[in-house]
């Protein structure tokens, strides 16, 4: 991957991007937002958590950032996000579909229907809702990078987290298919963030999750990688 500069809205070359990150109020999304902002990029963040979103907004108070309470599982909520973003910022240069959830460790026949639905609605349907609304204005510009967060469990299987594995396998397939639909100048990738000490990892690994890297350390590497993606990466399955 080589670094590249996007065209600013005035037509001049600029290395600063507008980055939309879903699930921005905690974990990887929050760490990535802070790292992007640290390097001067404008962050558009969305989350369902008002309190945590407000806390992040207080840290990133520059007017170039935009934080919105959105439930990506709901199509109309994402549609309203698009309206607001286009009115205030224009189409983003980069989208990071980070928002995700995982089931409690359980054999598939013991996973309640509503828990299975929550995983699929957030991890798969939520990602599709974002693509449905944000891809058209990006396609109109024939420019932009979309990063769909996958997982090592989107390329392998694991006991007790079958719903999560299924959702991330879906993200891998979705990404490769959408890659064939994008025009020249754009790219969509499936990105396995690696193993990071987050609430989701703790739900699987318990206290042993603490031996893995913290989100802020991960974000330094992840941000650099995401910012260096180019159209030549279209359809790739990558790992931080």
- The number of helix segments (H) and strand segments (E) in the chain equals 8, 9
Catalytic residue among 116, 134, 153, 164: 164
- Cα–Cα distance measured from residue 92 to residue 42, given in angstroms and rounded to the nearest whole number: 9
- The Cα angle at residue 221 between residues 212 and 173, in degrees rounded to 5: 85
Largest CA distance in the chain: 56
- Cα–Cα distance measured from residue 40 to residue 17, given in angstroms and rounded to the nearest whole number: 8
**Are 78 and 52 contacting, i.e. CB atoms less than 8 angstroms apart?**
no
CA neighbor of 151 nearest in space, from 141, 162, 143, 142: 162
- Cα–Cα distance measured from residue 6 to residue 16, given in angstroms and rounded to the nearest whole number: 8
Neighbouring-strand partners of residue 187: 145
Active site annotation includes 212: no
**Are 28 and 218 contacting, i.e. CB atoms less than 8 angstroms apart?**
yes
- Cα–Cα distance measured from residue 116 to residue 229, given in angstroms and rounded to the nearest whole number: 33
Helix ranges (H only) for 142-198 are: 162-179
**Residue matched to tokens 């001067």:** 40
**Residue matched to tokens 């507008």:** 18
User: Which sequence positions are flagged as catalytic?
Assistant: 164
């Amino acid at each position: 991957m080589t670094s590249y500069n996007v065209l600013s809205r005035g037509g001049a070359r600029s290395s600063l991007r507008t980055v939309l990150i879903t699930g921005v109020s905690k974990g990887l999304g929050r760490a990535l937002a802070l790292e992007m902002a640290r390097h001067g990029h404008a962050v558009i963040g969305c989350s369902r958590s008002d309190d945590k979103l407000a806390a992040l907004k207080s840290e990133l108070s520059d007017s170039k950032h935009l934080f919105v309470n959105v439930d990506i599982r709901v199509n109309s909520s994402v549609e309203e996000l698009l309206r607001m973003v286009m009115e205030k910022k224009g189409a983003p240069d980069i989208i990071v579909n980070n928002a995700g959830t995982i089931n409690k460790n359980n054999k598939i026949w013991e996973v309640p229907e509503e828990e299975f639905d929550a995983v699929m609605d957030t991890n798969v349907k939520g990602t599709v809702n974002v693509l449905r609304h944000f891809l058209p204005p990006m396609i109109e510009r024939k420019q932009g990078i979309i990063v769909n967060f996958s997982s090592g469990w989107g390329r392998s299987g694991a006991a007790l987290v079958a719903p999560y594995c299924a959702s991330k396998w879906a993200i891998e397939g979705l990404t490769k298919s959408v890659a064939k639909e994008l025009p020249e100048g754009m790219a969509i990738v499936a990105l396995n963030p690696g193993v990071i000490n987050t609430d989701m990892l703790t739900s699987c690994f318990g206290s042993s999750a603490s031996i893995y890297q913290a989100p802020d350390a991960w974000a330094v590497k992840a941000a650099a990688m995401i910012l260096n993606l180019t159209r030549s990466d279209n359809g790739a399955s990558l790992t931080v």
